[in-house]
Structure 1
Amino acid sequence: MKHHLFGADTVEHYATTMQRGVDALVRRVRDVEGPFSGRTVDEVAPAVEAVDLDAPLGDVDAVLAELGEVYLGDAVWFHEPTYAAHLNCPVAVPALLAEVFVSAINSSLDTWDQSAGGTLIERRLIDWTTERIGFGPAGDTAADGVFTSGGTHSNLQALLLARGEAFLSGHADAAAPFAETMARFRVLASVDSHFSVQKSATVLGLDADAVVAVRADAHHRMDPHRLDLELTRCRAAGKVPMAVVATAGTTDFGAIDPLEDIADVCERHGVWLHVDAAYGGGLLASTRRRHLIAGIERADSVTVDFHKTFFQPVSSSAVLVRDGATLRHVTYHADYLNPRTATLPNQVDKSLQTTRRFDALKLWLTLRMMGADAVGEGFDTVIDLAREGHAILRDDTDLEIRVAPALSTLVFRYRPDGLPEDVADHVNPRIRAALFRGGRAVVAGTTVDGRSWLKLTLLNPAATIDDVRVVLEQVRAAGRDLLDETHPYQEVGR
């Protein structure tokens, strides 16, 4: 049986198969009544384990029916307005259209002879993003970048470039053994920075204590004065500050580090500045809040996750650099792929990956159909929603808010008046589990100063303040039930 996509006798097969898939998905989405089924691993696993992968079903309708059993029935639906857990977004419809072409044509964005026009589209989007950042062209050192699989990947590549530049900075002894120099490198980041900073340092072969945590203020923003002191301390101890990582939108709080002040400190110390804007990058499209990331244009590298606040399907991220020449630290040549003599544009010269999906097309179609202003307004809408939610939480006697939101994240907990801290620590993770098991709402949890908190990450522009109220009421109800049922806490806080 032939199933090649573009054979003369298979185009109709392709069309009917895709249409049946779309029809099945639409039917399922119309029937969704909450973000999750509430079923446990033990309840879901048997259907998957029972599938005989060596016995194909052949018929598309049978395959789709099985898919409903093993996946769709227990999928977590990010488009549902009471999903408010992680940095997952409902996706723009033009990006879904792009996925059809990305997967069907299956371009690989490593070399021109595997992607051609796709290469140019990705390059144009990189230029568009660097222009939005404010890097701008600079002759032979024009801003540049490349699409990646996600923020962790983008942060890793940025720090790899920073490591390469650190070897050339004059602060590292070129005559010293490589391992000895690596042991001296330090990366400075806020205590609230993403865990991928530490992971990247490990992957890059730095010491276990290479990441220096810089104190944050009461709003969870990096303290520039403390950064200055830590950089001075590093130099005095014979260490080499390899990079400073500022965050434009921390995962837990959406906090935006004071980028201008941090850039001033980095400039004085001659240190590479990377801005992790995986979350806050959507502000590049905002017509109302672009000023919140003022100073980002002074970074040496920037991470932007389009699959967060640009409402793109996973995966779609990019690492952008102010000086494109720094990308040479990831350039390797293979005679069969991208020989040194090549004159055509090859994106593999800039990437840690070789084979790479044409994820840029999703953003391209989104911009061409909706426009950047519409994308930015979507992000502004969820930021507005978070501020409305904060106003509710601020006056709630059962729920305690940690800090006013900078972006679209609310960190709070169930703690009626008089409820001891240790009881709140016991109850709040169980509230989260109870909501997930109920399937009507999904919230996240985190730990702040050793205490348990809940978190709403609002990334659905279609969600309303009434949806937020529904989630908060479910938190209260679950909290009351748990206090009633959990001896010896049943009288606490009543």
Structure 2
Amino acid sequence: MGRPQPDDTTAPAQEAERLEDAALLRADTAERYEEIVTDVVDRIAARLRRTSAPSSGASHRDLQALVDAVDLDASGIGEAAALSEADDLYAQHAVWFHHPFYAAHLNCPVAISAVAAESMMAAINTSVDTYDQSTVATLMERRLIAWTCERLGFAAGDGVFTSGGTQSNLQALFLAREGAIAATGRDRSAVLPRLRVLTSAESHFSVARSALLLGLADDAVVPVATDGDGRVLADALREAVADVRASGDVPMAVVATAGTTDRGVIDPLVAMADACDDADVWLHVDAAYGGGLLVSPTRRHLLDGIERARSVTVDFHKTFFQPVSSSALLVQEPADLATVAWHADYLNPASEAASEPNQVDRSLQTTRRFDALKLWTTLRAVGADGLGRMVDTVCDLAARVRERLDDDGDLRPIGRTDLSTVLFRYQPAGLDDATADRLVPHVRRVLFESGRAMVARTVIDGRPCLKLTLLNPDATDSDIDGVLGLVRATARGVLAGERLAGRAAPDAEASAEETAR
């Protein structure tokens, strides 16, 4: 049943009250805006000062109860009370990526200048889809795209900011799909089922999902063999491309990964570029994770060959320390972006296509945030070299942690990384593989539920393992030793609880959680 509607005699008064309650940002509410935002900043600053763990450790059940208790149909409580409530509900129980004991996923602490820029762009609310909505914002984004292309080695490249690596990969494969169909000169319906994307099993899941969204066949993603560290074998790639063609299918694109999510390794870009050049196949490099090496003073060479890609994904909200979202798709040939252009008389009529730099012609999105402002201000605040030193710092930290694990009696390292990932298992001498396998999800869950530390888990070569993803330049060796100490204590607690109770690990986790706390 719908909510009751006001009669005509009360509507004008209630409408006036509603507009007052909404407190839209305008000239006469500027002081109110200043007070409210200042209060929010003060609250967050206070939480930053006193945060002692990555999260509150509140249970899913308790958090669900807090969320469900809020009546979203009730009368308004005013900005101050609403933001105070949000502070207690959201900020109190958020996951804090700046805490050095957060080491789970590809989430980074963020540059102060970028956070301030986020506030600026939210208040102004620019959309950079067309020039008449954005003016200088479009020009600033275009300049940053050109800067990134220069760093990649794209002499005359182009691109567009996106919401993240998933969207960048989708758009890249859309461009590759359109290029492959056009190159065959055949009917779209005949070619589409024959298109194939070649990549390793280590590539991001968005590659396979993009193939689905693009209407490719269920078996369109062809896995390419890798070496023991998870990097594509160039000879295997050549063979896979030849096999695709021999079967009558069309190699639409090859996806190389510059920073795999699980291992943090970089595919052999030069060798893969050679193979793609020889076979005349589109090479896309997903550098969502490894893109920060573009500004690294010591590790830029790991991206050698990226300048030969047809398209590249870079996530600035990973190794450029930007707030979500901030990503980009870059292309070697500006003409490749033309396939996404779609003209509408009310937005970007074809008759005016050359008169204004309307970026909706480059993007899968229409309304789009001015996320480039955050990166712009960060580059101006700390410089590209400063960002590069931060990238090197987290990579150096990972290398030191991995080296210490070689001599650890309890924690067994798995593989090596080019970036800032450390894979390992709790498996002291005498602990069988099956037990070590079973400990992995329980250790991660106990630590997560305690709120004290956060690590991730994954499966490598069929074996579960724990994962540290180190993206905090302020984290020290001592901090990570503290995380690893909690892993040891938790694993021992689970095993001790099993022996004491004679029950399966899930029943023993209360004891382990108490240890973790």
Normalised to the residue count of structure 1, the TM-score between the two structures is 0.95
When structure 1 is superposed on structure 2, of 266-275 and 55-64 the one drifting more is 55-64
Q: Which residue of 2 aligns with 1:252?
A: 262
Equivalent of 1:133 in 125, 142, 152: 152
Structure 2 runs not aligned, ≥5 long: 1-19, 505-517
Whether contact under 8 Å (2:455, 2:467) holds in the other structure is yes
Structure 1 residue 239: deviation in Å? Answer: 0.7
CA distance in structure 1 between the partners assigned to 2:290 and 2:85 by the alignment = 39
Q: 62-71 vs 242-251, which deviates more?
A: 62-71
3-state SS in 2 of match to 1:183 = helix
2-structure distance, mates of 1:8, 1:313? 28
Partner of 2:507: none
Residue 37 of structure 1 corresponds to 56
* 1:450 pairs with 2:469: no
Asked if 2 retains the 8 angstrom alpha-carbon contact of 1:249 and 1:280, the reply is yes
Question: What is the CA-CA distance between 1:4 and the residue it aligns to?
Answer: 5.0
1:149 alignment partner, one of 157, 163, 184: 163
Match for residue 296 of structure 1 among 303, 306, 311:
306
Question: Structure 2 counterpart of 1:339, which letter?
Answer: P
Larger radius of gyration between Structure 1 and Structure 2: 2
Q: Secondary structure at the match of 1:220?
A: coil
* 3-state SS of paired residue (1:387): helix
What amino acid sits opposite 2:166 in the alignment? Answer: T
Partner of 1:483: 495
CA contact (8 A) 1:5 1:14 kept: no
**Within 5 Å, which residues of 2 pair with 1:315-354?**
315-342=325-352, 343-354=355-366
Contact 1:2–1:10 (8 Å) recurs in 2: no
Runs of 5+ unmatched residues, structure 1: 138-142
The offset of 1:62, in angstroms, is 2.1
Work out the percentage of aligned pairs sharing the same amino acid: 55
Show the counterpart of 1:400: 412
Higher RCO (CA-CA < 8 Å; seq separation 6+)? 1
Cα offset for 1:57?
A: 4.7
Corresponding residue for residue 13 of structure 2 = none
Q: Judging changes above 3 Å, is the alpha-carbon distance between structure 1 residues 438 and 308 closer, same or farther for their aligned structure 2 residues?
A: same
- The alignment's TM-score, normalised by the length of structure 2, stands at 0.91
Aligned to 1:213, the other structure's residue is in SS state: strand
Provide the secondary structure at the position in 1 that maps to 2:351.
Answer: coil
Of 37, 40, 52 in structure 2, the residue corresponding to residue 18 of structure 1 is 37
For residue 51 of structure 1, the aligned residue among 70, 75, 89 is 70
Aligned length: 481
The answer to whether the 8 Å contact 1:3/1:10 transfers is: no
> Hey, what's the Cα distance between the residues in 1 that align with 2:84 and 2:116?
23
**1:71-470, aligned counterparts within 5 Å?**
71-137=90-156, 143-169=157-183, 172=184, 174-176=185-187, 178-342=188-352, 343-470=355-482
Give the alignment partner of residue 47 of structure 2, picking from 28, 41, 51: 28
Q: CA deviation at 1:36?
A: 1.0
Q: CA RMSD in A?
A: 1.3
SS of the counterpart of 1:370?
helix
Task: Give the distance between the partners of 1:197 and 1:135, measured in 2 at CA.
Answer: 23
The range that moved more, 15-24 or 80-89, is 15-24
**Does residue 66 of structure 1 match 2:85?**
yes
8 Å contact from structure 1 (residues 253, 409) kept in 2:
yes
Instruction: Give the deviation of 1:60 after TM superposition.
Output: 3.7
Q: Deviations over 1:237-270 (max 9, x none)?
A: 0010000000000000111000000000000000
Query: How far apart, in 2, do the equivalents of 1:315 and 1:228 lie?
Result: 36
Q: Once structures 1 and 2 are overlaid, which stretch shifts more, 56-65 or 359-368?
A: 56-65
CA contact (8 A) 1:221 1:255 kept: yes
Give the whole-Å Cα distance in 1 for the aligned partners of 2:94 and 2:25. 31
Assess, with a 3 A threshold, how the Cα gap between structure 1 residues 479 and 2 changes in structure 2: closer, same or farther: closer
The alpha-carbon deviation at position 63 of structure 1 amounts to 2.2
CA distances 1:86-109 after superposition (whole Å, capped 9, x unpaired):
000000011011111110010111
Contact 1:47–1:69 (Cα < 8 Å) also in 2: no
The alpha carbon displacement at 1:219 in A equals: 1.4
CA contact (8 A) 1:303 1:318 kept: yes
Contact 2:181 2:192 in 1 (8 A): no
Q: Which has the higher helix share?
A: 2
> In the alignment, is the contact (CA less than 8 A) between 2:421 and 2:468 conserved in 1?
yes
**1:27 to partner: Cα distance:** 1.3
**Alignment partners' CA distance in 2, 1:408 and 1:447:** 18
Q: Which range moves more in the overlay, 16-25 or 87-96? A: 16-25
Deviations 1:437-493 (A, max 9, x none): 121110000011222100000000000000110011111111111111125699xxx
Q: Report the counterpart of residue 140 of structure 1 in structure 2.
A: none
Q: Which moved more, 1:43-52 or 1:296-305?
A: 43-52
Indicate if the aligned counterparts of 1:85 and 1:443 stay in contact, CA closer than 8 A: yes
Residues 423-448 of structure 1, C-alpha deviations (whole Å, 9 max, x = no match)? 11111110011111121110000011
